[in-house]
Amino acid sequence: MVLPHNRIIKIISGLREIQTVKIIRIHTRSLTFNPELLSDSFVENLTRFRPIFCVFHINSHLELTEIAKNRTEKLITSGILCYSQTALLNGVNDNSEDLEKLFTELLSISS
C-alpha cells in the first residue's frame, strides 16, 4: 500500500487479466502505521476488482486508532473483504487478555 496508488491499481488490473488468477489478496500494515493511505478514492478504485481481500497485520488493540477503524469500515462497506493477521509477540500480545482485547475490537468494526 506504500506504492503510488496508480501503480497498485495497474498491478491489480494486470492480475485480473490473468484467467487463472481468481483471488487477489493484499497484505499490509498500512492500517496501523498510515491509515490515510486507504483514501476514499483508492478504496473506490479497489472496488472495481472485487472480489479482493485485504489482510491487515495487527498485533495489538492499541494499533486500532479511530481512523484505522473508519478506514476499515469504509473498505467493508465498499465490498472489500477484510481480515487480520496477528503475530504473537513477547510482551505485546502474549497473553489471553491482550488477544481478547484485540480480537474483540476487530470484531466490533462494522458490526
The mean per-residue pLDDT over the stretch 36-57 comes to 95
Contacts (Cβ under 8 Å, ≥6 apart) of 38: 1, 30, 31, 71, 74, 75
Q: What is the pLDDT of residue 69?
A: 95
Which CATH code for domain 5-108?
Answer: 3.20.20.70
The mean per-residue pLDDT over the stretch 84-93 comes to 95
Residue 55 pLDDT class (50, 70, 90 cuts): very high
Q: What is the pLDDT of residue 1?
A: 82
CA 59 distance to own-chain centroid: 13
The pLDDT tens digits of the residues spanning 6-43 come to 999 999 999 999 999 999 999 999 999 999 999 999 99
Domain boundaries, the chain: 5-108
